[in-house]
Amino acid sequence: MLLQLIPYLACGCIIFFCYVVFQYSSSGCDLDNAIQTGDVNIAHCRDHYYKALNLSASGRKNCTKIIEGDLEEVRLTLLENFHIKKRKVMTNDTEYIKLTKDCTAFKKMKKYVLFSMSNEERNYPIAFSMVIHNDIEMFERLLRSIYAPQNIYCVHVDRKSPDTFHQAVRAIASCFDNVFVASKLESVVYASWSRVQADINCMEDLLNSTVEWKYLINTCGADFPLKTNAEIVTALKSLREKNSMESEAPPAHKKARWEYHFEVKDNIARTDVRKGPPPLNVPIYSGNAYVVLTREFVKSLFDLDFARDFMNWAKDTYSPDEFLWASLHRVPWIPGSFPQHRKYDTSDLIALARLVKWGGHEGDIKNGAPYSECTGKHRRDVCVYGSGDLHWLLQQHHLFANKFDPQVDDHVIQCLEEHLRFKTFYGNNM
């Protein structure tokens, strides 16, 4: 009789064991409670938290196939962009102002990750400068994609932007202790010093914050990250207190940008007045506006007489953001700098800061082009990425890429959001 009961007893034990495992795996994983108490057991609750915070792309597209470069999936996705004009902007300025009246509900609805994913990230805060002027939805998605509670974020809003945009940005920032609007705002004129000043205003505010951040990364509203916060921390640590940016000997056609005095009104215009040489006659290098800077480099901008003199000299030049950082980066006494020897020249494709497809360099990689043709559209000779660019983008080492626009191709942004959120929790590809 006892032998006949053994199978039933064994089955009952298995059921009981499974029940206990299920109960244990489900206990203590209340996301709202974990955020309030700070008792976040990621190792135990990872699956539960990811289920609550995943950012699955909408529609029929298969982001995994797009990321893998599946040509048929990319083709079908790009075809959908012909109907992009029918896409409704998901949330406008006024709607964000309304949504953020209840910050707790807003952050939950938008699925912000409100806890540090690891001790390594918690102990390595990063500062972000975000210079924006329009598209509140894209700004908020960028913020969400790079948000972590240990980091700090300064947002510079162009003074010329509509009042409702300013209000919406401030409303979003008010929902986070570590996000704020710059204390001084500039009226930004394309290719003028005001674009640099916007970042400098944020740099000063960030230095005055209580967060002991390690590196500063500047961004704009058309950027999107290619790496998770954990990957960014790893990359920054690998720099060993060096800056990372494009910095090369300038082409001849760019030299007039700093050899002549420029005047700024509604736009910027060159005069016939020649400028004198820069302070100490330091060599000028070519680069771009987006950089990865050590905290000590940023401090030197305000502490060193030379840095202040150099910036004052650059204020009446054309597009100073495309040579200022690159030139300071090669001055021997500036923290985190590289030597001036040509062997230390660094192209944008080698630097970490920003990945850009320039229209003039696109072509057949087999015939020597640095990258293939843009599958989105071009704006000022820069590729606004399409879904067909995503496979290439995610093979690169850069921290961010530029440009993205949901009105050109929202699929590529959605797939990046889905991909990065998955990697944030599981650390590998989808």
Residues assigned a catalytic role: 322
Residue 260: burial class (beta carbons within 10 Å; 0-12, 13-18, 19+): middle
Beta bridge partners of 270: 262
How far is the C-alpha of 35 from the C-alpha of 31, rounded, in Å?
A: 6
Task: Locate 266 and state its tokens.
Answer: 């509604």
176 Cβ neighbours under 8 A, 6+ residues apart? 147, 153
How far is the C-alpha of 341 from the C-alpha of 355, rounded, in Å?
A: 24
Query: Do 178 and 152 meet the contact criterion of CB atoms below 8 Å apart?
Result: yes
Spacing of C-alpha 131 from chain mean position: 11
Peptide bond between residue 403 and the one before it cis (omega within 30 degrees of 0): yes
How far is the C-alpha of 404 from the C-alpha of 219, rounded, in Å?
A: 12
The Cβ-side half-sphere exposure at 413, using a 13 Å CA radius, reads 24
Give the 3-state secondary structure of 136-166: HHHHHHHHHHHCCCCCEEEEEECCCCCHHHH
Indicate the SS3 state at residue 199.
Answer: helix
Q: What one-letter code names the amino acid at 6?
A: I
Q: Which of 198, 176, 172 is nearest to 187 (CA)?
A: 198
Express the helix, strand and coil content of the chain in percent, nearest 5 each.
50, 15, 40
How far is the C-alpha of 217 from the C-alpha of 259, rounded, in Å?
A: 29
Count of beta carbons in the 10 Å neighbourhood of residue 383: 25
Count of beta carbons in the 10 Å neighbourhood of residue 363: 13
Q: What one-letter code names the amino acid at 355?
A: L
How far is the C-alpha of 300 from the C-alpha of 33, rounded, in Å?
A: 43
C-alpha Rg value of the chain to the nearest Å: 25
Q: DSSP secondary-structure letter at 89?
A: P
